[in-house]
Structure 1
Amino acid sequence: MLFTQVRFNLDTPISLVEATAIFESTAPKYKGHPGLLLKHYFRSEDGKTVGGLYFWESREAAEATYAGPWREMVEKKYGAEPQIEFFESPVHVDNRTPGA
């Protein structure tokens, strides 16, 4: 499995309440998104970093998203350029599902 970590380093920290409102406003855009399996949003405890972990079917699906109008939308939303890193995840543990 492939995942990406997308981070935004903010000039001004945001609260958990502010971050949650932003995340909730963008989450519907990812429902049914081609090639996206799962997304988790995150905020650092100091509120200076926010972002998401995206789990993809393929690198091509991720790159197609990041090359399109997505970049303009997120830069406008967070006021910062995204830092995108790609990772392979060959093994996972999911304690929510018996036997996984």
Structure 2
Amino acid sequence: MITTFTTFTLPQTITLEQASEIFQSTAPKYRSVPGLVRKVYVLSEDGRTAGGVYLWNSRADAEALYTDAWRAFVKDKYGTDPVVTYFNSPVVVDNVAGQIITAPHAP
């Protein structure tokens, strides 16, 4: 499994309420993305940085989303270019499902 952090510095500060409205408007786009397990929208406490934390089945699944069109969508929506950072996620604790998930390649 792969976790990606996407971040972008906003051209101006937004409130948590504004962020919630914006994020709710884009959330449906992610409901059926192949290989996406979970997406968590984030906003820094100062309201200057936004982004998302994504859990993917594979890096290939993640890379399939982060296309030039996706980057253009983010720039158009938020007025700034996103930064995407990849992390391996060999173990995930899911307290809602009551599971510890181990990626297939991890022992």
* TM interval, short-chain normalised: over 0.9
Contact 2:4 2:53 in 1 (8 A): yes
The structure that is strand-richer by fraction is: 2
Partner of 1:79: 79
Gaps of 5+ in 2: 101-107
Paired amino acid for 2:93: V
Paired amino acid for 1:14: I
Q: Cα offset for 1:10?
A: 1.2
Task: Tell me the matched-pair count.
Answer: 100
Which runs of at least 4 in structure 1 moved beyond 6 Å after TM superposition? Answer: none
Partner of 2:54: 54
Partner of 2:34: 34
Partner of 1:3: 3
TM-score under structure 1 length normalisation:
0.92
Q: Which has the higher contact order (CA 8 A, sep 6+)?
A: 1
Q: Cα offset for 1:50?
A: 0.5
1: CA distance, partners of 2:38 / 2:99: 20
2: CA distance, partners of 1:47 / 1:67: 26
Paired amino acid for 1:31: R
Partner of 2:24: 24
Gaps of 5+ in 1: none
